Chains A and B, each alone.
Chain A
């Protein structure tokens, strides 16, 4: 268990226990378990198709696992009513692998969308302030009236991040935030993720197979192999791990 400087155990914000998920005959997750502590960045590593996206979709309740328990911020995700799940989802942000920007809406409308449901008590000015603040955080305040189709891939990723952050989540789930971006842009995204963690005190699960991004972000690395947690530890210790599968990722 990671300890902070005063050697008191950190608060556990997310717990996954014995998760199983199969699509027909394709068993994707087989007895997967993991934990996440407050203010921690955990990177989940795994081959393409190993079920990383499936894992975090189970955590946010978009997919229903066949077996297992998921606790997020002390709430059992699988036993919540739809209304309780909505309440929990305000506190958990999700950055989709494909960005999932609403392409029929402008950037402003995209950012206002989460506030439709969870910010109904806010006035027009408050909403506008939030939108501008979220865009400024990602350095794209000038795009507020553009359409997603007019933006580059990296800008879209940052807009998607801004849209997720507008509700100030306590846990962030990033699905391959740097894949498909050039090294400079992906470094910017990494800096942004670190900045977000700093400003909002978030804990994050980051899915990635971009090793430079992993090195900069990870407090801890979890390797998802064959539907199980194959290795779990800080970046440096995994680097020294003689296991051939682990070495396959690091070299």
Chain B
């Protein structure tokens, strides 16, 4: 087999395709009222099915970050700063990004595979023939659902991570939950929480649109389904990092630090 490196052309084609698809989303973004039921069903599927995974990783994240940072903080005699440090890093960066990556893996691949197999087995064509606009019914509802549910999942994950951090702090030296919470709340400012919260909507949008794009435009054949799921995860994860970089730049420029 010949080794193939992705050419610039392919990457540009891919970006062009995604941009066109996003344009199509914005032309159809207001799905008619009758798709509202499907939207809620998707919110339930996307949110409910991922909340366990997101909770576990959040918990471990908070726990491990606290345990790992303790020796260094102790060396500087700054152990009392651990709650603030962990809270800020989780809320501002690690919580949103890790949760978004997990969602890219779970939700992005799920949407990619589902729409991909619907495409391959002509179910999307069948919808069109029976008078339902498949783009509005399948794509618009899913993209809205991920855009709104990923922030919710990030909030869950952040909260549980901080709770995990409390447990880790508590393992070494008794701290009351009240004192810990006080420290966390005091260390967080508006400019920590808001930009981080806003960027999660973009993460959610990216995950939804990439999953739908890959599934909806997947080529015929069963291997097309696997490919759609796989490349949805890769592309969505990459986009999460790119968006994170952009968000950091924007908040920095706006002086929201």
Q: Does B130 contact A (CB under 8 A)?
A: yes
Which B residues are in CB contact (< 8 Å) with A89? Answer: 129-131
Q: Given A60, A97, A101, A120, which contacts B129 in the complex, CB threshold below 8 Å?
A: A60
Q: Which residues of A come within 8 Å of B, CB atoms?
A: 57, 60, 62, 86, 89-90, 94, 96-104, 113-114, 116-118, 120, 163, 167
Q: Given B121, B131, B132, which contacts A100 in the complex, CB threshold below 8 Å?
A: B121
Q: Given A62, A97, A99, A117, which contacts B131 in the complex, CB threshold below 8 Å?
A: A117
Beta-carbon contact of B123 and A114 below 8 Å: no
Interface size class of B (residues with CB under 8 A): 10 to 19
A99 to B121, CA, bound (A): 8
Q: Does B34 contact A (CB under 8 A)?
A: yes
Beta-carbon contact of B123 and A100 below 8 Å: yes
Beta-carbon contact of A113 and B127 below 8 Å: yes
Q: Choose among B114, B122, B127 the residue with the greatest number of A CB atoms under 10 Å from its CB.
A: B122
Q: Does B19 contact A (CB under 8 A)?
A: no
**Closest residue to B32 on the A side, CB-wise?**
A117
A90 to B127, CA, bound (A): 12
Q: Given A98, A104, A113, A120, which contacts B130 in the complex, CB threshold below 8 Å?
A: A113
A113 and B121 contact, Cβ closer than 8 Å, known pairs A96-B126, A100-B126, A102-B126: no
Nearest Cβ distance between residue B17 and chain A, in whole angstroms? Answer: 17
Which A residues are in CB contact (< 8 Å) with B127? Answer: 102, 113
Which A residues are in CB contact (< 8 Å) with B123? Answer: 100-103
Beta-carbon contact of A117 and B128 below 8 Å: no
Q: Given A100, A120, A163, which contacts B125 in the complex, CB threshold below 8 Å?
A: A100
Nearest Cβ distance between residue A145 and chain B, in whole angstroms? Answer: 18
The 7 closest A-B pairs by CB, nearest first: A117-B131, A100-B126, A114-B130, A100-B122, A86-B131, A96-B122, A94-B129
A96 to B122, CA, bound (A): 8
Nearest Cβ distance between residue B168 and chain A, in whole angstroms? Answer: 41
A167 to B130, CA, bound (A): 9
A101 to B117, CA, bound (A): 12
**Closest residue to B118 on the A side, CB-wise?**
A102
A67 to B153, CA, bound (A): 51
Beta-carbon contact of B132 and A62 below 8 Å: no
Which B residues are in CB contact (< 8 Å) with A99? Answer: 121
Beta-carbon contact of A98 and B131 below 8 Å: no
Which B residues are in CB contact (< 8 Å) with A114? Answer: 130-131
Q: Which residues of B come within 8 Å of A, CB atoms?
A: 34, 114, 117-118, 121-123, 125-132
Which B residues are in CB contact (< 8 Å) with A98? Answer: 121-122
Given contacts A98-B122, A100-B126, A167-B130, 14 further A-B contacts (CB under 8 A): A62-B125, A62-B129, A89-B129, A96-B122, A96-B125, A96-B126, A97-B122, A102-B118, A102-B123, A103-B117, A113-B130, A116-B34, A118-B130, A120-B34
Which A residues are in CB contact (< 8 Å) with B128? Answer: 62
A104 to B132, CA, bound (A): 16
Instruction: Decide if the interface of chain A is mainly helix, strand, loop or mixed.
Output: loop
Nearest Cβ distance between residue A53 and chain B, in whole angstroms? Answer: 10
**Closest residue to A63 on the B side, CB-wise?**
B125
Which A residues are in CB contact (< 8 Å) with B132? Answer: 113, 116-117
A158 to B126, CA, bound (A): 15
Nearest Cβ distance between residue B35 and chain A, in whole angstroms? Answer: 10
A1 to B70, CA, bound (A): 91
Which B residues are in CB contact (< 8 Å) with A102? Answer: 118, 123, 126-127
Nearest Cβ distance between residue B131 and chain A, in whole angstroms? Answer: 4
A62 to B118, CA, bound (A): 15
Nearest Cβ distance between residue A16 and chain B, in whole angstroms? Answer: 18
A116 to B125, CA, bound (A): 16
Which B residues are in CB contact (< 8 Å) with A117? Answer: 130-132
Nearest Cβ distance between residue A70 and chain B, in whole angstroms? Answer: 15
**Closest residue to A94 on the B side, CB-wise?**
B129
| 12 A-B interface contacts by CB (under 8 A) | A62-B128, A90-B131, A94-B126, A94-B129, A102-B123, A102-B126, A103-B121, A104-B114, A114-B130, A116-B131, A116-B132, A117-B132
**Closest residue to B120 on the A side, CB-wise?**
A98
**Closest residue to B133 on the A side, CB-wise?**
A82
**Closest residue to A120 on the B side, CB-wise?**
B34
A115 to B89, CA, bound (A): 52
Which A residues are in CB contact (< 8 Å) with B129? Answer: 60, 62, 89, 94
Nearest Cβ distance between residue B116 and chain A, in whole angstroms? Answer: 13
Q: Choose among A90, A103, A117 the residue with the greatest number of B CB atoms under 10 Å from its CB.
A: A117
A138 to B216, CA, bound (A): 32
Nearest Cβ distance between residue B112 and chain A, in whole angstroms? Answer: 15
**Closest residue to A87 on the B side, CB-wise?**
B131
Nearest Cβ distance between residue B107 and chain A, in whole angstroms? Answer: 16
A118 to B123, CA, bound (A): 18
